[in-house]
Amino acid sequence: MKKIIKRVTGVFLCVAMAVGIFGTTSAYAEGTDASTDNTQEQAAQWPTGPEVQAGSAIIMDAATGTVLYEKDADTPRYPASITKIMTTLLALENCNLDEIVHFSATAVYENEGGTSHIARDLDEEMTLEQCLYAIMLESANECSYAVAEHVGGGDYQKFIDMMNAKAAELGCTNTHFNNCNGLPDPNHVVSARDMALISREAIKNSMFRKIVGTVRYEIPPTNKHADPTPLNNHHQMISAYKGRQNLYDYCIGGKTGWTSDAGNTLVTFAEKDGMTLICVVMGCTAGGQYADTRTLFDYCFDNFKMYNVAQNETRYEKTQSSDNTLFTEWNAFAKVDDSAQIILPASANFLDTQTEVSYDQTSDSILGTLVYSYDGKQVGTANVVTTGAEVTEYPFGEKSGTVQSEDNSMQNDASATAESRNTTKNDTGKKSGISISKNKLLLIGGGVAAAVMIILVIWFLHNNIRRFHRRKERRDRRYKTIKNNRKWNKRGGR
């Protein structure tokens, strides 16, 4: 009997071990060990950039916002006419292109003279689209002022306030606008980094891209001009209007600037090998703005490479770890955003990056964000997004490890999952949890059923063995009785 009890106990231990294995949370975690991470951190090194003569310079990747090179990028400087990038951006965001812009006396008489202009007249009327081409190609100051008044509803100061509000919204910290066209003003300054942030936002707009990429445009006759007005792009890296010596094959547009106080300023956009780069140089000597911009573009295109995250990320595999619960429900209805990219030095490997999970930008469709870094620099992010598929399983436990008991129904849609995750994040701020799927429950149930079957077989065999022994004992007793009777009969016969 003791042997049977030992066997049953052993069966239950096996079942318990099976439950422990299959019940462990499946999570996704980086597949590199600590020693590998340390080696990668030691090897990670950002390329050394070239020397440029500009007072301030920066080059930023438009897709990720990663700064590939910078020099004195946070010093506020006079921006000159690159200011008009912000003016054009606000006009595109707040108005329709076919709206009619009216030229006031202030727009005409205070913004022409010795400044860049296209000689508009008092009470002249043009469409907003025509004005924006004049602003970005010919740097027309009177058009910039007229657009500012139009967007501000006739209130010029309101437009200036809009410029500063937009700068703050984009994360600019060393910028203050005091006019819409960049004419010299002690209270009108922008840093190279802030100008890159503004330009990055502008290049996202398809109409802005079209305007800055236009080499030549013609304004048709207006109520004040009987002849068309030709416009030529003054940016020498995309237009040969002032010569071909500075043309750059990968340039897709930009904006020039110059005043005696600011020197030469230049914002340029270029595309190559899947990269869209933004270069800002400020405080340059004549011609130096183009030489520096070319040098910086060549350096970045030669030394950096874009990676699609969904096509390259292989480190998040199922493990027995529960440290990272962003991916608890991954297989069912979530994936990495297919368009997410990061940018790295050409000598680096995608797996050289380090990642963290952020829940700061979660929504019904975004479950979390992978934040990638290399050599201490953030090089891009990738959202983990829902696919819209219905889910047939749902975690029993919250990230804190508690078990839900109030709601017995299984919620299968992605929005419920996002809500569960956000609630857990606010309550505990932890990234660990317990999650058991239906498949795991079936495995556990199968293990328990097998254990029960084994116990029944043992019980059946034990009972049969006992019956066998009882029958044998009865046969032995009858045999002994018969044998004794025979002995007694023999003795009586004597």
pLDDT of residue 14: 38
Could you tell me the CA-to-CA distances from 64 to 302, 340, 380, 485 in Å, in that order?
Answer: 18, 9, 5, 106
CATH of 78-261 given 3.40.710.10, 1.10.10.350, 3.10.180.10, 3.40.1410.10: 3.40.710.10
Tell me the DSSP string of 304-370.
EEEEEHHHH----EEES--S-GGGTTHHHHEEE-TT-EEEEETTS-GGG-EEEEE-TT--SSEEEEE
Give the 3-state secondary structure of residue 159. helix
Domain locations in the chain as residue ranges:
78-261
pLDDT of residue 365: 82
Total Cβ atoms within 10 A of residue 484: 10
* Active centre residues (catalytic): 81, 84, 139
Give the residue among 159, 207, 205, 151 at the shortest CA–CA distance from 180. 159
> Cα-Cα-Cα-Cα dihedral of 207, 213, 218, 219, to 10°?
30
C-alpha span between 370 and 445 (Å, rounded): 36
The phi and psi torsions of 314 (rounded to 5 degrees) equal -125, 0
- pLDDT averaged per 10 residues, the chain (length 494): 42 36 32 41 75 98 97 98 98 98 96 89 98 98 98 98 98 98 96 98 98 98 98 97 95 97 98 96 97 98 94 68 50 78 94 89 84 93 80 46 41 46 45 46 69 74 72 70 61 51
C-alpha span between 126 and 146 (Å, rounded): 10
Q: Which amino acid is residue 334, in one-letter code?
A: A
C-alpha span between 420 and 446 (Å, rounded): 30
189, β-bridge pairs: 176
pTM above 0.75, yes or no: no
C-alpha span between 320 and 475 (Å, rounded): 60
pLDDT of residue 482: 64
pLDDT of residue 126: 98
C-alpha span between 329 and 399 (Å, rounded): 12
pLDDT of residue 177: 98
